[in-house]
Amino acid sequence: MTISTEPAPLSYNGDDSTKPFAITWKYFAKAHVVATLRSSTGVETTQILTTHYTLTPAKVDSGGTLTMVTAPATGETLVIELEPSNTQDTSLPLGGPFPSTSVEDELDEAAQRDAKLQAITDRSLKVPKTDTQVGSNLEIPIDSLRASKAFHFDSAGKPSMVVPTNASGTLVTSTSGTAARSLAERADDDSLVFPLLRPSLILNLDDINLCLCLRGSD
């Protein structure tokens, strides 16, 4: 077969009753299918094959069906993605008939891996093509230097870490997703000021449920 369109992630809203969900792209192995359930509060949980869902057989050109053991609830979102492994396990014989089917399958999987890498790149922060800061200038500090700090860009556009404080100079910390989100929610609150950083991109690294706030200058 050919891979004429990228295998885009599939998103389905829960309704307390639906269990089967269509997969519209071919998967060469069940392990290549990744299902993630997002709760109404934004918490993501990776689902486990046979424990949380089942799949129809692999290697079907038209795709297949993922059936949840428990129907996603209203307010929940099920996201199904294709994540093929970064390996190649087909051994081609030396001489003899050309194994066209095996070769085409490997080429198809390679295209799917490219799509997976592109999806990861598309979800990443990027700088413009004409940006003057490139390479090591865009590396963030090591974990010991960024722990419990906020990520910002200095006057040259290079990433660095600072300790955020509010208008009274009190340290602002985050220990949970809720706290991280609260920083984003308060981005327009004048009681929360990051000295010397405005306008800046503030990225809270205290929690993977980061806050991303754009502050304009006064």
Domain ranges (residues) in the chain: 10-86+100-122, 135-214
Phi and psi for 171 in degrees, rounded to 5? -60, 135
What token pair was written down for 27? 């998967």
What token pair was written down for 180? 């991280």
Radius of gyration of the chain measured on its C-alpha atoms: 23
Q: Is the pTM value of this prediction over 0.85?
A: no
CA atoms of 17 and 73, how far apart (whole Å)? 8
Locate the DSSP E strands across 141-206.
150-153, 159-162, 201-204
Residue with tokens 């290549």, as numbered in its chain: 32
List residues bridging with 80 in a β-sheet: 10, 35
**Higher-pLDDT residue of 206, 95:** 95
Q: pLDDT (tens digit, 9 = 90+) per residue, 134-176?
A: 888 888 888 888 888 888 888 888 888 888 776 666 666 554 4
Residue with tokens 């792209």, as numbered in its chain: 25
Q: pLDDT (tens digit, 9 = 90+) per residue, 19-76?
A: 999 999 999 999 999 999 999 999 999 999 999 999 999 999 899 999 999 999 999 9
